[in-house]
Chains A and B, each alone.
Chain A
Amino acid sequence: MADLTIKNLRKSYGETEILKGINLDIKDHEFVVFVGPSGCGKSTLLRSIAGLEEVSSGEIFLNDKEITELAPAKRDLAMVFQSYALYPHMSVRKNMSFALELAGQDKETINSKVDEAARILELGPLLDRKPKDLSGGQRQRVAIGRSIVRHPEIFLFDEPLSNLDAALRVQMRLELARLHQDLNATMIYVTHDQVEAMTLADKVVVLNQGRIEQVGSPMELYHHPVNEFVAGFLGMPKMSFLPGKVKSVSASGVTAELTSGYEIEVPVSSDSIQPGSDVNIGVRPEHVIITDKNSSKFQAILDVAEHLGSDTYCYVKTLDKQMITIRTPGDFLGTFGETIGLNLDPLQCHLFDTNGKAVPRLSRAAEVA
């Protein structure tokens, strides 16, 4: 059992408030990812959970026991650091057994636990080496092994993959996902990389400027972002935002007129929307289709096209100078400066009100009701 509850956690350095009241519930066996731009407080939050930062106010509970003021070692958490933080003068085996030896466990238990961790992480042949003789990926594995041997209630990861090269990062990401399955453990993972967040998490926590913007499963966040920040932060390439005005509202949705004059009816709840108010239409690159320029009223000029093989990302400029990103098949053959027609899928569009908050979809509203 490892349920973590955070209540109204605040942390400030002098005048600057880093965490502005965090409330969060983490359930047993969950893989939770904190994601956000740099400086959003995600690492500080993780370090507060670990006990490496003193919090200014608020409470942290682990299995209904308050741990806010407890020393790091007594919290029964293990942490993997970005720099791995291996002890440089100790062998791999000693690195992994260090915590157990400090806890005064007997030699046999220690050896069996270290061997078990080495087996899981395939570190067997490296046990007698020093950290300096290991590659980045191997060091990373030792750092993970160091936490595994302790059988902690919760594993904490502080951007563990950011020091690895791209190929290794993908590989370690898979290994981490597998490890989470194997150990069936609770894990909290901090990253600025949304791909890691989307692929690893059961639950993503999006942080911005010391606040939680949204908590939910990756797909929930992707399809139903609560505001422009979350919508823009998740998804690669980014969602495009087109400013417009509400023209009319009806039971079937909100009709907005974009600055380019194009009208679109988005099926969202019209309860809080008044005709004439400013809104933003958000559309993901995969929900725009490029058509012949004569078959659509929404026209744009093709700017740069990035050919990735499997996909082509097209950056287009509408006639009123708005940028839209479009994902097209890899064999797309548009040329720079060409005029094209755009077809937005209204069912997949998001509508954000003047404050940047998402207006709930009708389908969604029905589900909730």
Chain B
Amino acid sequence: MGIAKQNARMSRYMVSPSVLLLLLWMIVPLSMTIYFSLIRYNLLYPGENEFIGLENFEYFLTDEGFGPGMSNTLLLVGSVLLITVVLGVLISVLVNQAFWGQGIVRVLLISPFFIMPTVNALVWKNLLLDPVAGVFTAVWTFFGAQPIDWFTDYPLFSIIMIVSWQWLPFAILLLMTALQSLDQEQQEAARLDGAGPIALFRYLTLPHLARPIAVVVMIETIFLLSIFAEIFTTTGGGPGYETTNLAYLIYSQALLQFDVGLASAGGLIAVILANVAAFFLVRLVGKSLTDK
């Protein structure tokens, strides 16, 4: 047996404990979820845990919350992605110019990311968007306009606003760093070639940012699919199902209706959904990541 082969075998033994641990880490919860999703398991009716096949999935998919949950999830992810990427690119290009106080402005731009989602949501709910005492209301009244009751009239939009505020710094952070590696001489060459600021942005900056934008989209999608705290603290999924996304729907079934089986089925559907999204994202984004 060659040394290389022996080495390969040896290293396989050496990594096996961590691989096994990771496998267990994934396999145990997954199989438990699969098991729960196939039995009748409601905490209000203990003892009746008989096998019921795919009945839980049927209930979950035909639940009146499923349709809105699905569309709200997609709407939330899509809108926040759009807002953070577009604003992120514009703001990071803007603060990439040298100006007085650049360091402080950058820190301020990044700081929302350090605030935990719950606190963030509470600040927005009680300080900014409150229909009586909120800052927005004060501004509206100052201009003589009718104050808006954000969480009643535009619930999903309010959530999108809050989550965008939370995630915009992430986009700015990544894009700002990427901009600093934009080659100075390329820009000078383009200026000599007759490119104005807009042409520079369109032909040099944007292509240069393609890869970091792809990273932002990929990472944000993963996190945005499971947005929960912001909804829980502000609207509680309402009014009706208007701000219920899949994560919140699963929570409400497991812990508000005590139906663990149904919630497990929902969780599996969410896993499948996340995988479908991941599949398309990797096809879309992965190419630009590996293509140097």
Name A's B-contacting residues (CB within 8 A): 50-52, 71-73, 77-79, 81-83, 85-90, 98-99, 102-103, 132, 146, 150
Contact = CB atoms under 8 A, between A and B. Distances in A.
> Residue among A77, A82, A86, A87 with the most chain B CB within 10 A?
A87
Nearest to A47: B188
Contacts of A90: 203
B195 interface: yes
Contact of B192 (A73, A88, A132): A73
B194 to A, nearest CB: 4
Contacts of A103: 194
Contacts of A85: 183, 185-186, 188-189
Nearest to A71: B191
Q: How many of chain B's residues touch chain A, expressed as a range?
A: 10 to 19
A270 to B, nearest CB: 52
B109 interface: no
A286 B195 CA distance: 51
Q: Across chains A and B, which 9 residue pairs bring their CB atoms closest together, nearest first?
A: A99-B193, A85-B185, A73-B194, A85-B189, A89-B207, A81-B185, A102-B194, A85-B186, A72-B192
A75 B249 CA distance: 64
A83 B185 CA distance: 7
A355 to B, nearest CB: 39
B98 to A, nearest CB: 14
A89 B292 CA distance: 9
A83 B183 contact: yes
A150 B189 CA distance: 13
Contacts, number: 61
Interface centre among A78, A85, A99 (most CB of B within 10 A): A85
A132 B292 contact: yes
A363 B207 CA distance: 63
B137 to A, nearest CB: 47
Interface string B201-212: 001100110100
Contact of A98 (B183, B188, B203): B203
Contact of B189 (A71, A81, A102): A81
B192 A79 contact: yes
Contact of A87 (B190, B194, B292): B190
Provide the main secondary structure of the chain A interface: loop
Nearest to B191: A72
Contact of A73 (B183, B185, B195, B204): B195
B199 interface: yes
Contact of A52 (B186, B191, B204, B207): B191
Given A87-B203, A89-B207, A132-B292, A98 B190 contact: yes
A206 B77 CA distance: 62
Interface in B262-292: 292
B188 A73 contact: no
B204 A87 contact: yes
Interface string B156-190: 00000000000000000000000000010110111
A78 B192 contact: yes
Contacts of A150: 193
A197 to B, nearest CB: 22
5 contacts: A52-B191, A73-B193, A83-B183, A87-B207, A98-B193
B193 A102 contact: yes
Contacts of A50: 188, 192
A86 to B, nearest CB: 8
Given A87-B204, A98-B203, A102-B199, A73 B191 contact: yes
A166 B180 CA distance: 32
